[in-house]
Amino acid sequence: MSPLRQYTLLSALTVLLGASIVIALSSGSVSVPVSSIWQQLLNPVPGIEQQILWELRLPRAMAAFVTGGLLALSGVIMQVLLRNPLADPYILGISGGAAVGALSVILLGVASIWITQAAFAGALLSVFVVFGLAGRQQWSATRLLLTGVVVSAGWGAIINVMLTTSNGNNVQSMLFWLMGDLSQSRTGSWHFALLLTGLLLILSQARALNALARGELMAAALGVNVSRLKLLLYFTASILTATAVTVAGSVGFVGLVIPHMLRLLGARDHRWLVPCSVVLGGSFLLLADSLARTLVAPQQLPVGVLTAMIGVPAFLFILHQGARSR
Amino acid sequence: MTVPIVQTRQLRLQMGERLLCEQLNLTVQAGQRLAVLGQNGSGKTTLLHALLKLGSVDEDRIEIDGRALSQWSRAELARRVGILFQDNHDDMPASVHETVMLGRLPHLPAWRWEREKDFAMANQALTTVGLEHLARRDVGSLSGGERQRLAIASLLTQAPTLYLLDEPSNHLDIAFQISTLSLLSATVKRDHSALIMATHDINLASRFCDHTLLLHGDGTYTFGPQADVMTDETLSRAYGCDIRHVVTDAGQFFYPFT
């Protein structure tokens, strides 16, 4: 694909991101006209609109963007690391570990501010358990994948025990967490800093990723220090995923589908795929969350439900188009 | 005496616990083409991988350009040594053009995009192997032979000084076997580079190489100028079957009689 087309794609995605932000800020139970969004953002006038924008929608939009960007970036990394198109950020059990942490807090009835910390701790525990079991000596992609999938299944069993033994009230909060939900999400500037750092770090390795996608031996023959690269990829993807999960629970589908959509649109070179994924992943979650808030208003749906509802048809459509044009 | 491109001193090759070859002393000078022959599992691929730091051998016993392999970084080595693998993996989608461009990876500094020269080399290589009309196609849609030609184009784009070919005739029809090896052979002579090719095809080896390494698979080997090594007796011993040569007006050919 020529650089011109890649630039066009990235520009189009950036425009989409802008539109997604506007939609996320203006839609909701009280709709804020686009004209007053600008005014309120640049020059806030105290009032109900100012409160809704600054205290509710903007923080939530920021959380949606960061989560989407982190998950899509992590998905790209995992797919290359495991050289498996079905890989997603959760495949190695990070979300399972985080869920066990978060659900324990809900189950124990501890103050909900601890959910974030417990989820992060659970995610890290899972990262190190999988690495300890699969990563010590020669860690092949298959061994890593199998270990991750099995550890994941183990977490799944614990989650089911927690769900079946809890009372109704807790179960609902647990399900929201498991499906991914942004209603309680808050992000700080460090989330953005982490996303940016991850993006730059992976961009610096983008060409090596192109080589790794053709196999570890090929990458090594082309001068890539494969074992160092794999370590970097594993731990970067893990931290990105763990952070995303602590912001919004395990929002599904973004990390799996966004990279594939972009590959089908022609961005297979990781120097383009990586930044495009962050932008599209962020936009996608912004739009999904806008729908989650408005579709059955005043009730809210977990955003994870919407990512699948939009993602499945969109992905199948692009897949079908791609197959026809070949 | 010029510094050889490859030299091994008392090199020991093994696969797990199994000894393949020991005390291997090998020299490949600029302009030379070495054929590595031997039965399945005799260590041909292991040797090629060892020269590119892809196996576990004592890297102090191998010298590239007179410098111990242990002193080479992977990136440096990739500018000097390129390999054609026995099989290619393409689990992740990529176009033919993108795959060929990977050959430029070792030559580009970090954060630098490919330039006109790099694109020109890639296009030239695709034309050489007759794949230029498929440049935009997805690798997954190619036939086995086309994939092998793509891998060869990628190697040409990498333009190493030492070409390592592992079963280069895999999947190729006869015409392409000959044209590919003629091209590489000519390139090696012209650029004073070198070529090491592991193959099962004794006749391709005898036609395109000037030196032969015969691995017997029991730790021993025979190495030397082709005429010395490729005799009926030595080949028969190495392959464990009766091989005799037939002289035709197009040259001599080897044929198994039992």
Q: Token pair of A297, please?
A: 């208003």
| CATH label of the domain that carries residue B227 | 3.40.50.300
- How many residues does the structure list for chain A? 326
Per-residue model confidence (pLDDT) at position B252: 86
- Span A81-100, average pLDDT: 90
Per-residue model confidence (pLDDT) at position A3: 67
How is chain A split into domains, by residue range? 3-325
- Taking alpha carbons only, the member of B127, A181, A11, A196 closest to residue A172 is A181
* Res. B225: pLDDT tops 60: yes
Q: Which residues of A touch B100 (CB under 8 A)?
A: none
Give pLDDT tens digits for B60-101: 999 999 999 999 999 999 999 999 999 877 778 889 999 999
Q: What is the torsional sign of CA A260, A255, A197, A195?
A: positive
Q: Which amino acid is at A151?
A: V
Per-residue model confidence (pLDDT) at position A44: 82
Q: DSSP for B69-98, please give it.
A: GGGS-HHHHHHHEEEE-SS----S--BHHH
At CB < 8 Å, which residues of chain B contact A? 52-54, 73-79, 82-83, 85, 88-95, 98-99, 102-103, 105-106, 108, 110-111, 113, 138, 141, 158
Q: Which residues of B touch A218 (CB under 8 A)?
A: 85, 88-89, 102
Per-residue model confidence (pLDDT) at position A323: 61
**H helical segments located in chain B:** 44-51, 74-80, 96-101, 116-128, 144-158, 174-191, 202-208, 226-229, 232-239
Give pLDDT tens digits for A18-28: 999 999 999 88
Give pLDDT tens digits for B189-220: 999 999 999 999 999 999 999 999 999 988 99
Residue B57 in domain:
yes
Q: Which helix (H) or strand (E) holds A282?
A: helix A270-294
If pLDDT is split at 50, 70 and 90, which confidence band does A297 have? Answer: confident
Contact A269 B105 (CB under 8 A): no
3-state secondary structure of B22: strand
Residue B213 in domain:
yes
What's the whole-number average pLDDT of chain A?
89
Backbone angles phi, psi at A312, to 5 degrees: -60, -55
The nearest CA of chain A is from the CA of B134 a distance in Å of 12
If pLDDT is split at 50, 70 and 90, which confidence band does B160 have? Answer: very high
Residue B87's domain comprises 6-256
Q: Which CATH number describes the domain made up of A3-325?
A: 1.10.3470.10
Measured between alpha carbons, how far is B151 from A154 in angstroms, rounded to an integer? 42
If pLDDT is split at 50, 70 and 90, which confidence band does A324 have? Answer: low
Task: Select the residue of A80, A83, A211 nearest B102 (Cβ to Cβ).
Answer: A211
- Span B167-183, average pLDDT: 91
* Res. A138: pLDDT tops 80: no
* Res. A87: pLDDT tops 60: yes
Give pLDDT tens digits for A233-291: 999 999 999 999 989 888 988 999 999 989 988 888 999 999 999 999 999 999 999 99
Q: Which helix (H) or strand (E) holds B225?
A: strand B221-225
Per-residue model confidence (pLDDT) at position A277: 97
Contacts of A42 (CB under 8 A, 6+ apart): none
Contact B99 A215 (CB under 8 A): no
Task: Select the residue of B74, B79, B85 nearest A224 (Cβ to Cβ).
Answer: B74
Per-residue model confidence (pLDDT) at position A186: 80
If pLDDT is split at 50, 70 and 90, which confidence band does A322 have? Answer: low
Give pLDDT tens digits for A207-240: 999 999 999 999 999 999 999 999 999 999 999 9
Residue B1 in domain:
no
Contact B89 A214 (CB under 8 A): yes
The nearest CA of chain B is from the CA of A269 a distance in Å of 7
A291-308 residues labelled b (16+ CB within 10 A) or e (exposed)? bbbbeeeeebbbbbbbbb
Size of interface A-B (CB pairs under 8 A): 80
Q: Which residues of A touch B110 (CB under 8 A)?
A: 204, 207
Give pLDDT tens digits for A59-84: 999 999 999 999 999 999 999 999 88
Per-residue model confidence (pLDDT) at position A241: 94
- Span B8-28, average pLDDT: 92
Task: Select the residue of B78, B106, B141 nearest A326 (Cβ to Cβ).
Answer: B141
Domain count, chain B: 1
Place of tokens 């892809």: B54
Task: Select the residue of A204, A213, A223 nearest B105 (Cβ to Cβ).
Answer: A223
Percentage of chain A lying above the pLDDT 70 cut = 97
The nearest CA of chain A is from the CA of B247 a distance in Å of 40
Residue B20 in domain:
yes
Q: Token pair of A60, please?
A: 């939530």
If pLDDT is split at 50, 70 and 90, which confidence band does A2 have? Answer: low
Contact A207 B108 (CB under 8 A): yes
Contact A221 B85 (CB under 8 A): yes
E strand spans, A77-168:
none
Backbone angles phi, psi at A109, to 5 degrees: 70, 25
What's the whole-number average pLDDT of chain B?
92
